[in-house]
Amino acid sequence: MLDILRRIVEDVSLAANLDEALGITVGRVRATLSVDVCSVYLFETASGEYVLRATEGLNAAAVGRVRLRPTEGLVGLVAERQEPVLVQDAANHVRYRYFPETGEERYRSFLGVPLIHYRQVLGVLVAQQRDDRQFNADESAFLVTVAAQLAGAIHHVAVTGGMATLLAGNADDLGYIEGARASDGVAIGTVASAATLADLGAVPDRTVTDVEAELERLRRAIAAVQDDLRASGARLAGVVSDSELALFDVYVMLLDGDTLPADMAGRVSAGQWAPAAIRDTVAAHVRLFQGMSDPYLRARADDIRELGRRIVMRLHADGPVGPREYPERCVLVGDEVSITDIANVPRRQLVGIVSGRSSAFSHVAVLARAMGLPAVVDVGELPLARLDGHTVVVDGYRGRVFFEPKPAVLEEFRRIARADERLGAELRALKDLPAETPDGARVTLHVNTGLLSDITPSLESGAEGVGLYRTEFPFMIRESFPGEEDQFHIYREVLAAFAPRPVTMRTLDIGGDKPLPYFNVVEANPFLGWRGIRVTLDHPEIFLTQLRAMLRANEDLGNLRVLLPMVSNVAEVDDALALIERARHELAEEGHVAPRPPIGVMIEVPAAVYQASQLARRVDFLSIGSNDLTQYLLAVDRTNARVARIYDSLHPAVLNAIDETLRAAREAGKPVSVCGDVAGEPAGTVLLLGMGFRHLSMTAAYLGRAKRVIRTISRARARAVLEQALTMEDAGSVHRLVRGELEAAGLAELLRGR
């Protein structure tokens, strides 16, 4: 059963459109359960009705004509109850509704299960039998499982189908897809997809100019796969049965024959790049085999898919033909855009990011904000294969993405982009003015950075230093741990660019959602696992290399500050301090001058809030990482889009924790700053100002905005707002309160999209 299920789901996801997907579903379910009828009814938003969309067994002419309101018929009953409904004598049930065109009066037994995707009933899957049939528990469970699995696949195909309409410019409404806001601003550009090639369905369309070279690449990949298959067959001889071994011969033969390779080559000759030529060849052949009645031949569809995947992987390993060309104004679109994907696009060309799954608090979103790139995430599954080259608008203010927007929509976004530019220019004009409140409180504004490419905007932002340099970013875009020399050059460049202004370098903070491709760690709960200082203390060789590189880079500059992430125990600080001393000692022995830099601890787990005094006593400064602090205080995975609604750094519990930490630092006589995103949010800036923070660090893109808030709202006013906020019970009330205050102060334009 599991096998049948897997195959149905796979075939449905490969279907070219919704009708084909539903056709496959009803045909397979009917055959598997040996029922007389299997049908799918789907909810139609425009009419508010359930419509018969596919059937095997009822009159085909009834498709599209049989319509039921949610309160009607047995189908409506299944949708209403959101659970399976089994009826023995359907025609005599109170909810039965008769449609002469279906011919269904003949069928007595009815089993209907809902198709639900993320709480939303998409439709109903129905099995019917002429005679009295007792569907047994296994059959009912099978139908429920098919429905649960299919709902996702159907949703995907429906989105893809809808996208096809959007891409063709035929949508009759405004035509956008909705996601979550990850980084403010509007980007108008051309899609470049960031797809994983192992997933055939996600291989994007791309054209090639050098057809001969692409054909050669394809030939090489096919030959390499044949070699792999022969070698695997030889290795397994005597290990698996002869019939299993024969499978390898079948694979090799399929690739020897004319049909598959010729079909692939034909598509390449027509201008497609090889991966998409393979994708389309596989889809066409899979359809062909599936239509065959012989079960042996039908099973060959699986082989073809497997072969396609292998060739694409081989092509990938072979490397793309030359460096990939990106559009001039490139919007990177992917299922889960990675930091490496971002790093691959020349900075000048990248204007926006759209990610299917990431949440607004993931590190990709953090990086998008750091680079000032409008970004929308959590838009769900996208037909990546069909998007390359299309015009797209990323509305980072409202979390919307418009593919092939209508001229009026495009014009509206151009207007917003122009207004943003004006505001940006106004804010840039504040660059050399101090961040000082009207009643004389001076705040030091620092930037958060992580890539060499954002040094220039950071320098131009008027920042008085770097409050957080995320050292893991250069680690994440490499293929192995960078050595001491490599790191020395990176750190030296950053320190020199800002000198004499201070640069706070955080030691490696990997783990959580920041895995290194070359350092595989599999954990059930990565955010509660081996992360930040826990990793570096367990690997002193990695930690010492990094510390040595930082200390050497600081020689004769003297503007380095070292920050320790994810501290949850005082012993971690003691151990880290000892290792820093060791690195200094080693360097001194080698003749370097390595003075002890100021050392700080990040307060980003609740334990550190409650031990802020003990931690502050051991080091020179504290820095509050409100992104993680919010995650750990509210128990909300910052990368999980499903719970993103309850992640909020203005939650009164988070505000109280930040306030508490500030007090502890003051008592210990140590400076404390905030370097999480809350510092750069207008409402957050007001509240932190009210608490009395004098050091804030944020991405360069938000610095001008924070400066304007500080130069407009007096410290006394901010304190009054804070006092009120701290008495509130939920984040929503805090947002409303501060918003009102900002609007009254004439800062409404800083709140676009909020």
For residue 437, the partner it binds in ligand PEP, Mg ion, none, with Cβ less than 5 to 8 A by kind, is none
- d(Cα 534, Cα 511) in Å, to the nearest integer? 9
Q: Could you say which of 625, 682, 690, 704 contacts Mg ion (CB under 5 A)?
A: 625
Crossing angle of helices 211-236/242-256, nearest 10°?
Answer: 160
Provide, rounded to whole angstroms, the least separation between the CB of residue 664 and ligand PEP: 18
Number of residues that bind Mg ion (CB under 5 A): 3
Q: Could you say which of 628, 677, 681, 741 contacts Mg ion (CB under 5 A)?
A: 628
Amino acid at 179: G
For residue 676, the partner it binds in ligand PEP, Mg ion, none, with Cβ less than 5 to 8 A by kind, is ligand PEP
For residue 371, the partner it binds in Mg ion, ligand PEP, none, with Cβ less than 5 to 8 A by kind, is none
Provide, rounded to whole angstroms, the least separation between the CB of residue 362 and Mg ion: 12
Residue nearest to Mg ion (CB): 628
Considering beta carbons, is residue 160 or 626 the nearer one to ligand PEP?
Answer: 626
Considering beta carbons, is residue 335 or 628 the nearer one to Mg ion?
Answer: 628
Provide, rounded to whole angstroms, the least separation between the CB of residue 118 and ligand PEP: 27
For residue 470, the partner it binds in ligand PEP, Mg ion, none, with Cβ less than 5 to 8 A by kind, is ligand PEP
Q: Identify whether the C-beta of residue 697 lies closer than 8 Å to the C-beta of residue 443.
A: no
Alpha helices in 237-294, H assignment, sequence order:
242-256, 259-269, 274-290
For residue 513, the partner it binds in Mg ion, ligand PEP, none, with Cβ less than 5 to 8 A by kind, is none
Binding mask 688-707 for Mg ion (x = CB under 5 A): --------------------
For residue 675, the partner it binds in Mg ion, ligand PEP, none, with Cβ less than 5 to 8 A by kind, is ligand PEP
For residue 468, the partner it binds in ligand PEP, Mg ion, none, with Cβ less than 5 to 8 A by kind, is ligand PEP
Q: What is the 3-state secondary structure (H, E, C) of 541-552?
A: HHHHHHHHHHHH
Considering beta carbons, is residue 628 or 741 the nearer one to Mg ion?
Answer: 628
- 363 included as an active-site residue: yes
- d(Cα 717, Cα 690) in Å, to the nearest integer? 8
Considering beta carbons, is residue 604 or 648 the nearer one to Mg ion?
Answer: 604
Residues forming contacts to ligand PEP in the complex (CB under 6 A) are: 366, 468, 470, 509, 604, 625-628, 675-676
Provide, rounded to whole angstroms, the least separation between the CB of residue 358 and Mg ion: 16
| Catalytic residue of the set 38, 117, 651, 675 | 675
Return the bridge partners of 334, or none: 194, 355
Q: Identify whether the C-beta of residue 714 lies closer than 8 Å to the C-beta of residue 745.
A: no
- Residue 229 is encoded by which pair of tokens? 């298959």
Sole window of 319-327, 476-484, 620-628, 705-713 interacting with Mg ion (rule: CB under 5 A): 620-628
Provide, rounded to whole angstroms, the least separation between the CB of residue 206 and ligand PEP: 34
Burial of 595 (0-12, 13-18, 19+ CB in 10 A): exposed
Considering beta carbons, is residue 135 or 632 the nearer one to Mg ion?
Answer: 632
Provide, rounded to whole angstroms, the least separation between the CB of residue 573 and Mg ion: 16
Nearest to 691 by CA among 670, 720, 711: 720
Return the bridge partners of 68, or none: 50
- Residue 25 is encoded by which pair of tokens? 């579903």
Considering beta carbons, is residue 90 or 468 the nearer one to ligand PEP?
Answer: 468
Chain-centre distance for alpha carbon 94 = 47
Provide, rounded to whole angstroms, the least separation between the CB of residue 592 and ligand PEP: 29
Which string of b and e fits 153-168 if b means at least 16 CB within 10 Å? bbbbbbbbbebeebbe
Sheet with 400-403: list strands edge to edge: 177-178, 400-403, 391-395, 186-194, 330-334, 350-355, 375-377, 180-183
Nearest to 263 by CA among 235, 239, 284, 234: 284
Cβ-based neighbour number of residue 327 at 10 Å? 17
Considering beta carbons, is residue 176 or 702 the nearer one to ligand PEP?
Answer: 702
Considering beta carbons, is residue 273 or 475 the nearer one to ligand PEP?
Answer: 475
For residue 626, the partner it binds in ligand PEP, Mg ion, none, with Cβ less than 5 to 8 A by kind, is ligand PEP
- 390 included as an active-site residue: no
Q: How many alpha carbons lie under 13 Å from residue 366 in its C-beta half-sphere?
A: 27
Strand pairing class (120-129; 37-44):
antiparallel
Element (H, E) at 68: strand 67-68
Phi and psi at residue 327, to the nearest 5°: -65, 160
| Catalytic residue of the set 363, 446, 651, 695 | 363
Phi and psi at residue 58, to the nearest 5°: -85, 170
Provide, rounded to whole angstroms, the least separation between the CB of residue 361 and ligand PEP: 8
Whether cis (ω within 30° of 0) applies to the bond prior to 204 is no
Where along the sequence are the contacts to Mg ion (CB under 5 A)? 604, 625, 628
Just list the catalytic residues.
363, 675
